[in-house]
Homo-oligomer: A and B are copies of this chain.
Amino acid sequence: MSAPARGRGRRPGGPDTRGAILLAARRSFADKGFGSTTIRAVAAEAEVDPALVHHYFGSKDDLFLAALEIPVDPRALLPTVFEGGVTGAGERLLRIFLSVWDDPRARLPLIALVRSSLVQEGPESLLQQGILRMILDPLRTALPSAEADRRVQLVISQMAGLVMARYLLALEPLASMPTEEVVAWVAPTLQRYLDGPLPAG
C-alpha cells in the first residue's frame, strides 16, 4: 500500500489528530506486530504527515508505549538500577518492578499485553519485541558481556514468574504480600542472578 500523495487527504494537527494516530498505531501493532509497524504506515492510516506522529509521540518506542497506554517508561526507570553499581541492583530493580505492577493504571494494560502476547507464537510478540527489549537492553549493558544474556534472562524469569503468580493468577497470599516481604524473599534471588558466582561447568 503506497502512502497518499503529500498534502492530499491529510488531517491537519487538531484535537482528534492525536486520537486518530493512537488508534492507527494500536491497530498496526496488534495486526502486524512491533517489527512490521512503521511510523510512516501509521501516519498514512491516520491520514497525517509522519512528522506529526514524531511531533506528538517521538520515536516508535514512545508511540508503542502510548498506544498500549502503558504509563511508565522502562527506558527512564531502569538506568537508576545500576547507578550505585551492581551491589543492591537486585533490590532496586525489584522495587521498581513492584511499584509499576502494584499500580493498577500500569498493571491493567501490562496484563493485557502479556495475555495477548502469550497467545501468539514465538519471538515476534509485542511483549518480546516491544517491552522486553526495553527492559533487557539496559540491564545487559551493566553486566560483563560474556555472561550478561543468561544473567539477565534468569532475572527476567523470576520477574515473569511474579507477574504470573502474583498478578495474573493472583495466588493468595502471594498476591497480597506487602512490598517489603516480597523484597525480602525475592531481591536476594535477583541479586544472585546478577552477580553471584557462575556455576562450575
A-to-B contact residues, CB < 8 Å: 114-115, 118-119, 122-123, 125, 127-128, 132, 149-150, 153-154, 156-166, 168-174, 177, 180-181, 184-186, 188-189, 192-193, 199-201
Contact for A159 among B115, B161, B170, B171, CB less than 8 A: B161
Q: How many copies of the chain does the oligomer comprise?
A: 2
Determine whether the beta carbon of B158 is less than 8 Å from that of A171: no
Q: Nearest CB to that of A177 among chain B residues?
A: B150
Which partner residue on chain B sits nearest A127 by CB separation?
A: B169
A160 x B164 contact (CB < 8 A): yes
How far is it, in angstroms, between the C-alpha of A125 and the C-alpha of B201 when the chains are bound? 40
- Additional A-B contacts beyond A127-B169, A153-B171, A161-B162 (4; CB < 8 A): A150-B173, A150-B185, A153-B174, A157-B161
Tell me the bound Cα distance from A201 to B170 in angstroms.
Answer: 22
- Residues of B close to A189: CB separation below 8 A: 158, 189, 192
Q: Are the C-beta atoms of B157 and A165 separated by less than 8 Å?
A: yes
* A-B contacts, 6 listed (Cβ < 8 Å): A118-B164, A153-B174, A158-B161, A158-B189, A159-B161, A161-B162
The docked-state distance in angstroms from the alpha carbon of A34 to that of B19 is 42
Specify which chain B residues have a CB less than 8 angstroms from the CB of A174 in the assembled complex. 150, 153-154, 157
Q: In whole angstroms, how far apart are the Cα atoms of A48 and B192 in the complex? A: 56
Q: Which residues of B contact A186 (CB under 8 A)?
A: 154, 157
Please, which residue of chain B has its CB at the minimum distance from the CB of A169? Answer: B128
Which of chain B's residues have a CB closer than 8 A to the CB of A128?
169
